Amino acid sequence: MQSKIPWDQVTLPTLTALCRELGYDTLDAKKEDLITYLHDVNINGIKPPKPEPNPILKIIMQQYEEQTRAFKEKREREYREFEQKTADFWNGNIPVDPALERFDAPGSLNIIVKCDVRGDGGDEDAWLKVFRAVIKAQDGQELGKFCFRVVNLPFLRQELGYYDMYNLFHLSERGGSELEGLGCSLFTEQGRPNPEFYSGGSGAFGPEIALASFALLCGDEQGEEKVDYFCINSEFRHRGVGTQALKQLFQHESLQNVKTLFVWPSVNDFPLSLKNTPVEEKAFTGIVKFFTGVGFRHVGSGPIMAYVLHDNQHPSRLLAAANDAPLTYKPMPQMPDFFGSIRND
């Protein structure tokens, strides 16, 4: 319904005064705006004015928004710096100071190994022992930490026979996803050595790695407070700590009855924004190079590496690193689709 009042014939000062009396903000308003408002009032009536915000609350909200914005900007800046530092580190742009103390020599550090005993006293995983190790310098300073799991294969054979081993690795609560994947790849569903696992590649490994007790140097996590992957504190990396720690582990009494030590190379504690980028692939290449330098060799053509203990004449121990099968970056598949995928690759 159109207004019968000829507003367009009313002067601007009169329109302004009238609209102001009705509660309309006439600041910077043009004559057309005032006429439109009066037409709307004629049709819909006067709308109640919006309440003025509490000035104190307005100040508080402004301060909160400023603090929140500053906090977000700080976090984004720190994260970008971390990303750049990570990229520079793996791209070799941050040289290691040659004056820093190195830990290459025997006796330059110690590993303190403790068995992780179940708190509830359960024994359903009697075939499995979890060990946690702390790497310390001679002065007691912590350099890093790692975890490994030892599987007592003769105990499994005696208690379970060949059957149910496959499911046992899958159902274990303490084994972790990597041990689950390793066990279900190392053995067939009938509990026999799986030739598809160790065939191919350099041919350095055979069924012997599935016939005796073995251990896995872990790369996954068990709970929020227990980080299992092999981790050297950032300020001590590239100084021989990891190499010397593994050399001590090879001789440790916890591996006295173990034939093979496995590892599944992976990139841990890495910025999400750098995942699936050349930087992550370069980081993975560096990790594989590290384990290769200590003596690990690739098992078949899969993503797992192994080191045979107490046998200097094993083919894998005699295999030069240059002759080892290449290993491209391949993250561990997620369960439960792992069983078929590892054998079909």
pTM beyond 0.85: the answer is no
In a domain, 124, yes or no: yes
Please give the Cα distance from 20 to 22 (Å, whole number). Answer: 5
Q: Per-residue pLDDT tens for 20-48?
A: 888 787 878 888 888 888 888 887 777 76
Write down the pLDDT at residue 345.
40
Do the domain assignments include residue 51?
no
- Residue 75 domain-assigned? no
pLDDT of residue 340: 39
177 and 307 housed in the same domain: yes
Cβ atoms of 174 and 130 within 8 Å: the answer is yes
Q: Are residues 13 and 130 in the same domain?
A: no
Residue 108: predicted pLDDT: 83
Domain membership of residue 30 as a residue range: 7-44
Mean pLDDT of 282-298: 89
29 and 154 in a single domain? The answer is: no
Please check whether residue 55 lies inside any domain of the structure: no
Highest mean pLDDT among 76-80, 90-94, 327-331: 76-80
- Quick one: 324 and 200 in the same domain? yes
List, for residues 158-196, the tens digit of each pLDDT value: 776 655 676 777 777 777 788 888 888 888 877 788 899
Q: Are residues 142 and 248 in the same domain?
A: yes
Q: Which residue has the higher pLDDT, 272 or 291?
A: 291
Could you give the number of structural domains in the chain? 2
The reply to whether 71 falls in a domain is: no
Q: Do 237 and 326 have their domain in common?
A: yes
In a domain, 313, yes or no: yes
**Shared-domain flag, residues 179 and 32:** no
Across 138-171, b (16+ Cβ under 10 Å) vs e yields eeeeebbbbbbbbbbbeebeeeeeeeebbebbbe
| Residues 244 and 330 grouped into a single domain | yes
Are residue 183 and residue 278 in the same domain, yes or no?
yes
- Rounded CA-CA distance 227/89 in Å is 22
pLDDT band for 291, please (50, 70, 90 cuts): very high
Residue 17 shares a structural domain with residue 158: no
Same-domain pairing of 33 and 165: no
* DSSP helix/strand/coil, 49: coil
DSSP 7: G
pLDDT band at 92 (very low <50, low <70, confident <90, very high): low
Phi, psi of 281 (to 5 degrees): -65, -40
Residue 295 has pLDDT above 60, yes or no: yes
Over 60: is that where the pLDDT of 218 sits?
yes
Report if residue 253 sits inside a domain: yes
Q: Average per-residue pLDDT in the chain?
A: 80
Q: Say whether both 40 and 129 belong to one domain.
A: no
> What is the average pLDDT across 193-218?
90
266 within domain boundaries: yes
